[in-house]
Chain A
Amino acid sequence: MLLAMHGIRKRFGAVCALSGVDLRVLPGEVHALIGENGAGKSTLMKILAGVLSPDDGDMRLAGAPYHPTGPRGAQALGIAMIHQELNLADDLGVVENIVLGREPRRLGWFDRKAAVQRARVALARLGREELVDNKRIGDLGPGPRQLVEVARALTLDARIVVMDEPTSSLSQEDTEHLFAAITRLKQAGVSVIYISHFLEEVLRIADRYTVLRDGRSVHTGAVAQTSEPMLVRHMVGRAIDEVFPRVEHTPGPPLLSLSNVAGTRLPVNASLTLYRGEILGLFGLIGAGRSELLRVLYGLDPVRNGDVRVAHVAGRDAERAHDVPSPRATGTGVHGRAPWVRLAQGVGLLSENRKDEGLALTMTIADNLTLSHLSHGARFGFVSRAWQRERLRRWADVLAIRTGGPALDANAPVGTLSGGNQQKVALARLLDMDIHVLLLDEPTRGIDVGSKTEIYRLIGELAANGKAILFVSSYVPELLGVCDRIAVMHRGTLLPAAPVADLSEATLMTQATGGAKT
C-alpha cells in the first residue's frame, strides 16, 4: 500500500464536500477516481496535494503518517498534482513554467541551460519536444498547455502523480502521448491517480478505480472486472440506457452563412451554411482553427476577409432589436461585429476556456448565469434578484448544478463550484438567452456522464425548436451521436460538411490529418 486515505472529511461553510472518503492506492498502479460533478474528486486530491487541509480523517504514505504542510511540503514527499484549472504563468515561456519554483541555479543565477535540458527531457517523454522553444505560454492552446503541466509534474520525481481531468482539452494525438507517458511512469513504479469523465479512457488506462458519490467513496474495484455500464451505475446510482437521446428535428431555411471567411491568422478560409433546426458538428485537430472560427463569427476576433450573414428571425423580442445599429450589421462587415451586436442578432457563444473567458469567478452564480441578459429581468435598470434566482433554480434543476450543501446558494461565488458545475453555469447562460444560433465550443468539457446525456437531449430540443447549433468538439463519439452534419477543419481551411450517416471516426480522422479528401 503506497497511499491510504481514510475517513476524509471536508466542509466549506455550509457545503459538505467530503463526508467520509476512503482511498487506497498501490505502488505502480493507475488508479481512476470517478464520480459525478461535485462529487468531491478535486477536493480530495487537493487535500492529498497539501492545497487544502482535511477537517478530519487520516492519511498514510508508504506506511508513515502523512500530513503535508502546503503544496511544497507535499511535493517534497513525492506528490505531484496537475490541477483541473490550469496554473501556468502566461507571460513566461514553456521552460520557465516547467521549472517554476525549482529553478536550477549556478552560483545563485538561473541556469538556463540546465532548465532547458530538464524541460526537454520531460517534454520528450510526452513526445512534444518542440514545445521547448515556446517563449510565451499564453500563446499556446489548451492542449499544449495541459502537456506542459504534465511535463512539470514529470520533473518532480514524484511517487504519486495526480491528474485531474488531464484529457478534457487534449486532442486524440496528445492523449496518446499522455497515455504513453502514464505507462512509462507505471513501469518506473510511480502511481498515477487519474480523474476523468471519459469512462473509456478509464477502462483503457487504469488498473483499479474508486467511485465517489456525494462526498463519499461508494465503490472500489479492479478495472478488469467491470464495464462502462457498471461504472455508470455506481456513479449515477442508475443505468443510463441512451447516451445520445434522439430528438426529432428537421432543418429549415439558412440562418447563418459564411463565404470565404478568414481571420487575422486563423481561419484561413471557411465557407458554410447553417440551417434552422440543424446541429452542425465541427471537427479538427487542436490548433486547426475551429475555436478561432467561432471567435471570428462572434466578433471576438476581427474578420480579415469574407462575408458573414445572419438571417433575421421574425418574432425576436423587439426590446433588444433596437440595439442593432444599422442594416449593415446583418450583412457583410470586414471588421466583424462586436459580441453585443451578435447577441442582439441572436448569436451566442460558449467559449472553450471558461476560466479566462466565460465566467467572472469572483461574482455570484446568479450574476454569472444572467450576465449577458440582465436587462431582460430588469425594470428601470434595476436587476431583479428574484428573477435571477428563478432562472438559476430552473437551470440548476435541468442541468443538475449542485453543491454538497442543502441547496444551491445563488449568492456563492461561481468559483466555489466544482469544475463541471462551473461549465454547466456557462452553458446555462447561453441556453437561458433568447438566441437562435448557438456556437458551442466544447460544451461538455468536464461534465459527467449523466449530465452529458441531458445536454445532448437539450441540444436536440433546441434544434427541434428551430435553433441552429454549431457544435465544436474533439470527442468524436459525441459528434457522431448528436450532429446532423459534420465539417472538418484542416489547418484553417474548412472542408465541406457531410451528413453524419456518411461519416465514421476513421473518415473524420483522415480528413482532420489532411489525408484523402472526401
Chain B
Amino acid sequence: MAAGKRTQDSRLTTVSDRLVRMLKWLGPFLALALVIALFAGLAPDRFLSTYNLKTVATQTVIVGLGALGMTFVVISGGIDLSVGSLIALCSVITAVALRAGHGPMTAVLLGVSSGVLAGAVNGLLITGLRIVPFIVTLGTMGIARGLAKYLADEQKVDADALGLSGLMAKSPDPAWLLVAPGVWLLLGLAVISAVVLKRTVFGVHTFAIGSNEATAHLCGIRVNRTKVLIYALAGLFAGLAGVLQYCRLTVGDPTTALGKELDIIAAVVIGGGSLAGGSGGVLGSLIGAFLMAFLANGCTLTGVPNYVQEIIIGAIIVAAVAIDALRQHRDSP
C-alpha cells in the first residue's frame, strides 16, 4: 500500500515538473492558438479568410526578422534598442539609392550592408568602451533615427521601387508562392538561424556568453569578437527588415518603425528568451512575432480599440516571464 502510494507520489511530482517545463515550450504555442481561436470565433469569415491570413503573414515579416537578430542578442545577455531606428535608416538608404538611379540589387545591398555596419558599430562600442548594451543601443537608436531623417531631408523619400514591391505583395506573383516572398525569406532565415544557434560553435558560444561570461572568457572563447558578430548579425536582420519595409511602403520613411524595438523584444521574451541571458530560441521568437501580428490584426478587424490591444500584449509579456520564473524556481530550488 505504502509502496503504491509512494510511486504514485513521485510520478505525480515528475508529471507536474514536466508540465511546468512543457508549459515553457508550449506556452507561446498555446497563446497563439488561443488568440487565433478567439478571433476566429468573433469574426470567422473575415479573420480566417485567405486574404487576411496573407496580410497577417506579411505584417509579421518586419518584427519577425528583427526578432531573429534579437534572439541572438538576448541569448548572449545583451539587448539592442536600436533596431527600430535601424529599420528606418536602412529603408531610407534603400530609397535614396533607388532615387539616385541605382539598380534594385545595388539598393538592396546598400540597405542591408548599412544594417550590418551599424550593428557592428553597436558591438564595437559595447566591447571597446565596455558600456552596457542598453546604454550603447539607446544612444545609437537616437543616432540612427537622426541619420535617417538627415538622409531623407526630414520627409518621405519617393523612389520607383523597380519591382521590389513584389517582395512584400500580399498576392504574390507567381501565385503558387501563396504568400509574399518576404514571408518565405523570414521562414527560411528562421530555419537557418535555428540551426546556427543550436548546432554551430558560434551558437554554443552565444549561449555560453549569456550563461556565464567569465566562464566563456576562461574557456578561451573570444568574447568580444563573438559579441561584435552577434550585434552585426542583429544589424543584418534589421537591414533586411528595413529593405522589406521600403518594399512594403514603396517610400523611404524616416519615421517608420518607431517603437518597433519594443515589439521585437517582446516577441523574443514571449518566445522564452530571458533578458538575463542564456536562454531563448528562434521558434519561440517567431511565434511571439506571429502572436503579436495576429493580435493586432484581430483587434483591428473586430473593432477592438487600440488601447485594449496594448493591455493584452502587456499582459501576455508578463505571463510569459512569470511562466519562465516558475520553471526556473522548480529547476534550481
Contact = CB atoms under 8 A, between A and B. Distances in A.
Contacts of A358: 215, 218
A9 interface: yes
Contacts of A250: none
Category for how many chain B residues contact A: 20 to 34
A300 B216 CA distance: 12
Contact of A300 (B6, B202, B212, B218): B218
A11 B331 CA distance: 13
B208 A360 contact: yes
B218 A56 contact: no
Given A11-B14, A372-B220, A382-B200, A360 B278 contact: yes
Interface in A34-64: 46, 51-52, 55-56
Interface in B166-214: 199-205, 207-208, 211-212, 214
B202 A359 contact: no
Contacts of A300: 217-218
A357 B215 contact: yes
Contacts of B306: none
A357 B9 CA distance: 38
Contacts of A343: 220
Contact of A363 (B18, B200, B207): B207
A330 interface: no
A9 B6 CA distance: 9
B333 A363 contact: no
Contacts of B218: 298, 300, 339, 349, 351, 357-358, 372
Contact of A340 (B13, B17, B222): B222
A461 B17 CA distance: 44
A340 B219 CA distance: 7
A171 B292 CA distance: 57
Contacts of A360: 207-208, 211-212, 215-216, 278
B204 A383 contact: yes
Nearest to A371: B219
Interface string B11-43: 001100110000000000000000000000000
A13 interface: yes
A363 B211 contact: yes
A344 B220 CA distance: 9
Given A46-B333, A359-B212, A362-B279, A371 B10 contact: no
B24 to A, nearest CB: 13
Contacts of B10: 9, 11, 55-56
Q: Main SS of chain B's interface residues? A: helix
A362 B211 contact: yes
B296 interface: no
A52 B332 CA distance: 10
A339 B218 CA distance: 6
B201 A415 contact: no
A400 B255 CA distance: 61
Contacts of B164: none
B147 interface: no
B14 A13 contact: yes
A50 B244 CA distance: 55
B215 A378 contact: no
A381 B215 contact: no
B14 A371 contact: no
Given A375-B201, A378-B201, A340 B333 contact: no
B159 interface: no
B204 A367 contact: yes
Contacts of B217: 300, 339
A342 B222 CA distance: 12
B221 interface: yes
A371 B201 CA distance: 9
B276 to A, nearest CB: 9
Interface of B: 6, 9-10, 13-14, 17-18, 199-205, 207-208, 211-212, 214-222, 278-279, 331-333
7 contacts: A300-B218, A339-B220, A359-B212, A372-B219, A374-B205, A382-B201, A383-B204
